[in-house]
Chains A and B, each alone.
Chain A
Amino acid sequence: MAEQRDDDRHYQHIQKGKLKKVGDQMAVYVPSQRAIHVLNQTAFFIWECLKESVTFEELLFMLTQAFKGDRETMKKDLEETLALLLEKGLIRKVR
């Protein structure tokens, strides 16, 4: 079977993360990890978008609507942020 293209992959944030306000930023407390992760503005936007299962392309579209900037730069930033959120166990690939 052919490998699924990254752009078609669906992502969703974990269900057991609890949001905490830290000054003007947000943090996610993950009880199973016994850890807390501070999110910057972009990461928090992505976290909010990932309440439901969303593809990379859909996420990129939402980002370009919400923030001003070059699309290619945003695409690269999104790839890096998703990789980091996956590594920290805050989001998962759903299909």
Chain B
Amino acid sequence: MEKIILPSFSLFQRPERVSPHCCRLRINRCSNGCEFYKDEKLLGTFENTLEVCGALEDEVESLLVKSGGEWVTFHAGCVRVGEGACLIAGKPEAGKTSTTFIMVEMGKDFLCEEMAPVDPSSRLVHPFPLALSMSRTFAQEYISCHPVKKGRLEDMGQRFSQYVPHRAGKRPLPLRMVILPCYRPSQSPGMVPLSPGEALPDILGCCFPPNVKEEKFFDSVIRLVTGCQIFRLLTNGTEATRDLVRRLT
């Protein structure tokens, strides 16, 4: 069990930080799998470690969003590009994780996976370096063409692979760029610049539910998107994504 759970969270364990929303999460092995407790209350019983790991991730994400207060939390990956943070945001299956993985493997510093918490007043993106979970098919296709150098990629069974980067950025960086990946096998690859207005609906769709009233939340997101470059990354596969990522500075 530790083999799966510990690497998932290994890059951001910070025992010195205690949130007011702190809770105790406990996993017990039982005859039919794993029991998952929150503050000693049973949340569920899971047949295998991967499922309980997913539930644990959900709890950590929920805790982080609650702790964030007025921050905006994006459902996004994040890497460092130049001196700023680059969010890789989008709907499920848009290609966020594969794009984040490719960017890290191409030398960009890893900051966040799954969620990217941003303080709208300072525009700083805070690291949340969760391990990257991706389809086994994508991972196998990637390693058949390129060596994995910046992290450890492991086949986890059940049709997915886990990638743990060797290192992750520890300090917050100002938001400078947003990439909205769009994977379609039949399209021509390209990087399409978007205005803040064009991108706003997509970007709002990538936000976790806010802790503040909608208007304040919309104002925060508008402030964030108006201060950065935004691109729709049109890709039809790994090689196209690699070519497009090379152009980012």
Contacts and interface: CB of A to CB of B under 8 A. Distances in A.
B218 A23 contact: no
B148 interface: no
Contacts of A26: 197
Given A27-B197, A36-B204, A38-B201, A22 B215 contact: no
Given A18-B215, A29-B218, A31-B214, A23 B204 contact: no
A34 interface: yes
Tell me what chain B mostly uses at the interface: helix, strand, loop, or mixed. Answer: helix
A25 B218 CA distance: 15
Interface residues of A, number: 15
B226 A23 contact: yes
B200 interface: yes
A23 B227 CA distance: 9
Contacts of B225: 22-23
Tell me what chain A mostly uses at the interface: helix, strand, loop, or mixed. Answer: strand
Interface in A13-55: 18, 20-27, 29, 31, 34, 36, 38, 40
Given A31-B214, A31-B215, A36-B218, A22 B204 contact: no
Contact of A25 (B196, B214, B215, B219): B196
Nearest to B226: A23
Contacts of B196: 22-23, 25
A20 B225 CA distance: 13
Interface string A67-85: 0000000000000000000
B222 interface: yes
A24 B222 CA distance: 12
Contact of B195 (A20, A23, A31): A23
B200 A38 contact: yes
Contact of B200 (A22, A24, A34): A22
A22 B219 contact: no
A24 B195 CA distance: 8
A25 B200 CA distance: 11
Interface of B: 195-198, 200-201, 204, 214-215, 218-219, 222, 225-226
Top 8 closest A-B pairs, CB basis? A25-B197, A23-B196, A22-B197, A38-B197, A34-B214, A22-B196, A36-B218, A23-B226
